[in-house]
Amino acid sequence: MNFNDSQIMAISHKEGPCLVVAGPGSGKTAVITHRINELINSGIPGREILVITFTKAAAIEMKERFNRLSGNNQVTFGTFHSLFWGILQRELGYKSKDIVMGSARMQILIEAIRMVGLDATDLSVVNSISNDVTTYRNKGENSFSFIPEAIDREDFFKVYSNFKKLKQKYRVVDFDDMLSIAYELFINRPSVLDKWQNRYSYFLVDEMQDMNNLQFDLIKMLSGKTNNIFCVGDDDQSIYGFRGANPKIMTDFINNYDNCKRIILNYNYRNPSNVVKAALALIDKNSIRFKKDIIPTNKEGTVNIAETVDEVGEADYIYGMIKSRIAQGIPLDEIAVLYRNHSDAKYLINRLMTEGVPIYLKEATTNFYSHFIIEDIEAYFQIAIGNSTRSRLLRIINRPNRFLHRASVEKGSRVEDILYFYKDNYSAYQRALALNSDILLISRMSPYAAINYIRNVMGYDSFLKEEAIRCGTSFDEYTDVLAFLLEIVKDCKNIKQAIDKLNVLRYKVDYENKNKQVDKSGKVGLYTLHSSKGLEFDTVFILGANEGVIPNNRADTDEAIEGERRLFYVGVTRTKTSLFITYTNKKNREKSRFLSEMTIDYSSTSSSKISSNLLDTASYSSSERMFSRDGAPVSSSKYL
């Protein structure tokens, strides 16, 4: 294998602290594995070398790549949590049964929240508090500067204190505790720290930009005797701030060691040259970063930015372009669609599944077809075609509020049973009779018409407005779900067909969620921008490049905007050949500022016509067009 000068410098580094700044596609994994091999060839025992990565999958991959290079099997590969959990097991006697996670951890947190007198019924708030707890722990428990997002500071620290006490009461630890307890162990028992400092002499850390303050303190302590610490990362790809990752740590690393060597891997072997140029123009707008002069090694590729009328047109356009790429011989698993949030992809997921395109979900995604609004409408539909059950009636009798008591369906499962229950109550009987009449009318309608009747005549929209106020949610979010549902059923001729379609689509998403870790070959990959990190594909689509999406509308500080820009940069640099970015002008939403910051040069490019069905789309470079729902251009090319 041939290496460039900066790679050789990194591989041959032996003693002392070294920071390797490795941009996208710079061959950092090869550098790490070959440096390990070089250390062993120089006489360093494999058992004295520790390699730390951030995920179990990355550790396994790194170990496998090293094993193909060397026969030495004494090198330790692991994650921060696996390493320090192992230390806690040996030194403090912890066992696997002591770990609490998932729903069991959440139940303890809910108990801690209720002890403060706060409402713990809203799981979104509970999840936000859980994220705040993790961020606080990972940043080193600095109460003076920490500002929680979910609740006010005073309540947060009460919840946090209760949470710690409850875990001690139940004699359990969570993943956040593993690192903090190890830190306290090293501080309080120097002999234990000394023992583990003598265990390893050389330390290699991958993806340093994902490190949080506590992890940085721990690795500094562990490597304190030799200072033979070799860290590889890219501050431009630090995207896990919500977990406590701190991009400034790479700068702190330089400042922490007077004799630190810094090496920049500045050749990009992945991206087309015009993508490298555009990505650098984008990320150069950030102030908290190392300046890098990245040199591309590949020719220009396709860079296309398309404006569509709405999410339906966006999904149609991407589907058409995917078909075009497949027709050109690109394997399905070399095509990826990236997005900021799972909800941003629901129209595309629906289109791909409806058209029978195999998909792979990297992460378990919210099953949009199980949204409470869709399940409400489906319950109305099921009752309308004679599939009434007690649970379905209970779901809809007061959506909107008809002031009908649950007891009215205790002994029956049909609307007629409710009428019988209220036979001696005139006003309630009339309300139940109106429900019965509405159900009969719905049964004769098309699904599209039935949904609009439920919303506007029966008053379901009024119920949603009240529900939005109660939950502190935007009513627009609920109307978006209804618009999505209307799009799903628009071609269904009757209600039964609509129900069957919803059930099939719901099953497909559930199946992909359950099988997300297996069999991604021969499938188009669907990834959040976060989960796409470290991956590469021939063709990459990034959808929803609008202000309020990317950057997120919660990014209200310069630091937060820089974090969003790094996230977009990660997405842009996943492609090996072709990059397609889409945004919508729905409700006159602005396109993302990041598109203008990429300063794509269109001066020497040409644009090709796109047929209305998109099956014969020609490949074209660096152009921006606007597309309607059927995929046809609705405006001439325009430049950023």
Transcribe 426-495 into DSSP letters: HHHHHHHHHHHHHHHHHHTS-HHHHHHHHHHTS-HHHHHHHHHHHHT--HHHHHHHHHHHHHHHTT-SSH
* Adjacent-strand bridge partners of 339: 528
Interatomic CA distance for residues 5 and 12, integer angstroms: 11
Transcribe 97-125 into DSSP letters: GGB--HHHHHHHHHHHHHHTT-----HHH
Q: Are 444 and 384 in contact (CB under 8 A)?
A: no
Interatomic CA distance for residues 609 and 84, integer angstroms: 58
CA 635 from chain centre, in angstroms, equals 33
Give the residue from 459, 463, 488, 465 showing the smallest Cα distance to 477.
465
Token duo for residue 484: 């999505």
* Adjacent-strand bridge partners of 527: 338
Q: Are 489 and 448 in contact (CB under 8 A)?
A: yes
DSSP, collapsed to helix, strand or coil, labels residue 634 as strand
- Provide the CB-side half-sphere exposure for 12 (13 A, CA): 7
Q: How far is CA 350 from CA 30, 353, 362, 447, 587, in A?
A: 39, 5, 17, 17, 22
Residue with tokens 């058992």: 47
In one letter, which amino acid is 112?
A
User: Which positions make up the binding site for ATP?
Assistant: 22-29
71: buried, middle or exposed (CB in 10 Å: 19+, 13-18, 0-12)? exposed
Interatomic CA distance for residues 224 and 352, integer angstroms: 53
In one letter, which amino acid is 469?
I
Interatomic CA distance for residues 248 and 235, integer angstroms: 8
What one-character DSSP code corresponds to residue 409? Answer: G
In one letter, which amino acid is 47?
R
User: Which positions make up the binding site?
Assistant: 22-29
What one-character DSSP code corresponds to residue 342? Answer: G
- Provide the CB-side half-sphere exposure for 483 (13 A, CA): 12
CA 286 from chain centre, in angstroms, equals 22
Token duo for residue 435: 């429900």
Q: How far is CA 9 from CA 34, 262, 572, in A?
A: 11, 10, 28
DSSP, collapsed to helix, strand or coil, labels residue 50 as strand
Element (H, E) at 176: helix 175-188
> What is the b/e burial string over 126-141, where b = at least 16 CB atoms within 10 angstroms of the residue's CB?
beebbebbbbbbbbbe
